[in-house]
Structure 1
Amino acid sequence: MQEVYEFLKSAKTYYLATIEDEQPRVRPFGTINLFEDKLYIQTGKKKDVAKQIAKNPKVELCAMKDDTWLRISATLVEDNRLSAQEDMLNHYPTLKSMYKAGDGNTVVYYLKDATATFASLTGKSKTVTF
């Protein structure tokens, strides 16, 4: 999981795919955090992405750095604890102008049952689970 975290952190942007009815939806994300030995992401509850996750928490993430890409399939689990929200916001202080722990809008999720595959056009694929 540490390798996945470091890859996403250094890539800076990854793309999160959800489902809305029968239509896939993909958007850029930048938050990734290690908290209590779990990988977390963050968004706002008022956003469509949070509504899509509430209906179907199975997602995919994809990021690319240099000639390697990372694809992750996982189930997102909402963590309502203030400590999880605060830790995320402390790692991303620029978000504090839009979000506050316990504000009713900030939501953090951890990745559960994740399968992460590192791949490139020139090398062997590597898969890790967590």
Structure 2
Amino acid sequence: MNGTKTIIEYLTSVPAWYLATCDGDQPHVRPFSFAAEQDGHIWFCTATTKDVYRELQANPKFELSAWKPGNGWVVLRGCANLTDRASADVRRAGFDHMIGLGECYDGPDDETLTFFTVDEPEAWICDIDGSWNPVDMQRACDRA
């Protein structure tokens, strides 16, 4: 399994995971729960009206982490690429997911609903024993 699929499988197997950004020198962490694959890249969904989007515009570096009981946790870091090139299928899946969370949008093409991917991704599967096992993300991105 390639690195992108490994990370997506991990993120979509838990109810929520946490994405961290910075606003100046203040870190901000919030729950996320949508991740999808398109063209070998991981896509995330948010809204242009949210603080997280504004923070990623100002400083695209982010890190996320998710814990899966019995499997340790995952760490993914990189730079947000806010150029929204999500396919119709990813947009529909993201829209349906966000509506399921209670958010309101006019449809998958609502101009406030936006999708972003990660440039220069680095990822690890970590365990309580202190091991950080790298996930080969570059190879998956190079093929896309």
TM-score by length of 2: 0.80
1:86 maps to 2:88: yes
1:1-130 alignment to 2 at 5 Å? 1-67=4-70, 68-81=72-85, 84=86, 86-92=88-94, 93-96=96-99, 98-99=104-105, 100-122=107-129, 124-128=131-135, 129-130=137-138
Task: Give the whole-Å Cα distance in 1 for the aligned partners of 2:84 and 2:20.
Answer: 22
Instruction: Mark the runs of 5 or more structure 1 residues left unpaired by the alignment.
Output: none
Q: Which deviates more, 90-99 or 111-120?
A: 90-99
Contact 1:85 1:101 in 2 (8 A): no
Letter in 1 for 2:93: H
Which runs of 5 or more structure 2 residues have no equivalent in the other structure?
A: 139-144
Moved more, 94-103 or 17-26: 94-103
Using the alignment, how far apart are the partners of 1:54 and 1:9 within structure 2? 25
AA aligned to 1:112 is D
For 1:64 and 1:57, how far apart are their aligned partners in 2? 23
The alignment-based identity, stated in percent, is: 26
Residues 50-97 of structure 1, C-alpha deviation per residue, up to 9 Å, x if partnerless? 00000011100000001401111111101333xx16333432424246
Closer/same/farther in 2, CA of residues 91 and 102 from structure 1, 3 Å limit: closer
CA contact (8 A) 1:35 1:87 kept: no
CA distance in 1, matches of 2:13, 2:134: 19
Question: Structure 1 residues 23, 85: closer, same or farther in 2, change over 3 A?
Answer: farther
Question: Following superposition, which runs of at least 4 residues in structure 1 exceed 6 angstroms of deviation?
Answer: none
C-alpha distance in 1, partners of 2:130/2:19? 24
- Tell me the matched-pair count: 128
Q: CA deviation at 1:16?
A: 0.4
Over the aligned positions, Cα root-mean-square deviation in angstroms equals 1.8
Partner of 1:126, secondary structure, is strand
